[in-house]
Amino acid sequence: MSATILVVEDEPGIQEVLKFNLGQHGHDVIVAGDAEEALTLLRGALPDLILLDWMLPGMTGIDFARRVRADARQKNIPIIMLTARSDERDKVQGLDTGADDYITKPFSPRELMSRIKAVLRRRAPQMTEDTVEIDGLKLDPLSHRVHGKIEDKSTALDLGPTEFRLLHFLMTHPERVYSRSQLLDQVWGDHVFVEERTVDVHIRRLRSALEVTGHDRLIQTVRGSGYRLSAIQG
């Protein structure tokens, strides 16, 4: 799993430790020394997760988290708060503000990595490497393979890279309708400017790749709304 992580932390020592450890685990790291700088960075491409220090010069971590949660474009970014305090009241306040988790300094890199993994698994399952299986259709992010099963016979399906990402997203968010623009944000990235009909093109390619084992039936068009992956027909 490789994520883009925005670290908002003013202490250079901790910045370095985080940059090193996150980098070792394959993550891309962007560092902001204070909340104002982080807000500026968020106007560009959005990160997959924010590691946020509680005590920052200027705007506090809590106020920054509130701003993020109040912004339509940024509100779904998972936030893990880093805090030197272990006071129970502060933790509750942090979670109330919309942080997904918190970790108390000093923390072990191993603990931090497992918290990041857990938060991403919950909030962005398409970022993890867990195999997903729905109705005989199996996708393995590690080997980048998709298999469909018909009458106990497993058949490898051939998908292009975009169709693979699209299928991975839909399989990790089944039974929910996504509009074309939501799919563009989630699968193509929120700062990529492509036309909405591009989604239709890739949905068509995805369906035809899945036709071999009849799993194209899972990709449903919801008129006037968008697309949904569902094992339930109709």
Residues of this chain that interact with Ca ion (CB under 5 A) are 10, 53, 55
In angstroms, give the least distance from the CB of 56 to Ca ion. 6
Our CB check for Ca ion shows the closer of 10 and 140 to be 10
Our CB check for Ca ion shows the closer of 39 and 55 to be 55
Our CB check for Ca ion shows the closer of 21 and 162 to be 21
In angstroms, give the least distance from the CB of 111 to Ca ion. 19
For residue 125 the two structure tokens come to: 């399952």
User: What single string gives the DSSP state of each residue in 153-211?
Assistant: EEEEE---HHHHHHHHHHHHSTT-EE-HHHHIIIII-TT----THHHHHHHHHHHHHHG
For residue 98 the two structure tokens come to: 């919309």
Our CB check for Ca ion shows the closer of 48 and 53 to be 53
Our CB check for Ca ion shows the closer of 58 and 160 to be 58
Report the largest interatomic distance among the alpha carbons of the chain, rounded to a whole angstrom.
Answer: 63
In angstroms, give the least distance from the CB of 79 to Ca ion. 16
Total Cβ atoms within 10 A of residue 38: 25
In angstroms, rounded to a whole number, what is the distance separating the alpha carbons of residues 142 and 234? 32
In angstroms, give the least distance from the CB of 99 to Ca ion. 15
| Number of residues that make up the chain | 234
CA atoms within 13 A on the CB side of 49: 29
Residue nearest to Ca ion (CB): 55
In angstroms, give the least distance from the CB of 78 to Ca ion. 20
